[in-house]
């Protein structure tokens, strides 16, 4: 028996995937195996990351429903593809459900890597569908589209790149990464969720941050990331263009940290 991280009840624990299981399944269909960054180990490892502090009622109930929404959202947006070659991304979303799903994923990751987990405590009732969405000065989502890599910029591109480019010369392979910005910010905790070319930035503001200061931080992040937009309950459709950072650029911090840990 263990105390469930979501309902707080002392119940028999189940294994909850850090990355939703349908994303692992999709990756296996493409690559036969799953390789991802393990924050605790400080290196890339094979296998599916799981946590053991979620009861069956939560896992199979509200959390499973959020994963079902996430799968539908990614499918309808055209993000569940081996190689995203478009220079635009059109999404239709329900803000509350999308935010709940992203918070759930990031909360699972935070407990697994041992960083920032307590910042999610106040948002657990919302994740479970019991509270209304948090105000903008408490949580914000910024989204942008990573740029593909052109094979012509590489003298000897890996064979796997050539294979999935299908003659287009454009490579943006499907991958999933859940992490955080290691640079400390005095006003918010910065969590990052990358699914294919979609790069979601979750900003969890500290208790004493005023609405005006939060708005300033959101504008600053958007300004620093080409093509970035803020998701809002005031609209349910968005069209995004490609930013300047490629998917390889986004992996650079992990590559450097892996090198430092060797």
Residue 42 predicted with pLDDT over 90:
no
pLDDT in tens, 45-102: 455 788 999 999 999 999 999 999 999 999 999 999 989 988 889 999 999 999 999 9
32 pLDDT tier (thresholds 50, 70, 90) = low
199 — pLDDT class (breaks 50, 70, 90): very high
- Alpha carbons within 13 angstroms on the beta-carbon side of residue 220 total 10
Lowest mean pLDDT among 54-68, 150-164, 234-248: 150-164
Arithmetic mean of pLDDT, 243-260: 71
By the 10 Å C-beta count (0-12 exposed, 13-18 middle, 19+ buried), 156 is classed as exposed
User: Shortest CA distance to 180 belongs to which of 106, 238, 108?
Assistant: 106
For 114-139, what is the mean pLDDT?
96
Write down the pTM of the prediction. 0.89
Which has the minimum average pLDDT: 41-45, 120-124, 151-155, 240-244?
Answer: 41-45
Which of 222, 232, 184 is CA-nearest to residue 201?
A: 222
pLDDT at 102: 98
């Amino acid at each position: 028996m263990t105390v469930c991280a979501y309902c707080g009840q002392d119940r028999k624990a189940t294994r909850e995937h850090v990355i939703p299981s349908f994303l692992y399944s999709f990756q296996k269909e493409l690559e036969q195996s799953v390789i991802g960054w393990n924050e605790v180990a400080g290196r890339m490892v094979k296998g599916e990351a799981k946590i053991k502090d979620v009861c069956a009622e939560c896992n199979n109930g509200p959390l499973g429903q959020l994963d079902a929404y996430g799968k539908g959202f990614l499918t309808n947006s055209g993000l569940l593809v081996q190689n995203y070659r478009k220079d635009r991304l059109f999404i239709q979303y329900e803000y509350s459900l999308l935010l709940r799903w992203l918070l759930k994923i990031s909360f699972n990751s935070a407990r697994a890597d041992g960083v920032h987990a307590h910042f999610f405590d106040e948002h657990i009732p919302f994740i479970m569908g019991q509270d209304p969405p948090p105000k903008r000065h408490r949580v914000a989502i910024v989204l942008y589209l990573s740029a593909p890599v052109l094979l012509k910029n590489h003298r000897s591109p890996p064979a796997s790149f050539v294979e999935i480019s299908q003659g287009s010369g454009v490579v943006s392979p499907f991958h999933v990464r859940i992490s955080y910005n290691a640079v400390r910010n005095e006003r918010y905790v910065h969590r990052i969720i990358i699914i294919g070319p979609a790069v979601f930035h979750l900003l969890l503001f500290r208790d004493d941050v005023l609405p005006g200061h939060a708005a300033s931080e959101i504008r600053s992040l958007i300004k620093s990331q080409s093509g970035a937009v803020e998701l809002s309950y005031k609209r349910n459709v968005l069209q995004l263009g490609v930013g300047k950072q490629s998917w390889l650029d986004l992996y650079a911090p992990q590559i450097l940290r892996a090198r430092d840990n060797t």
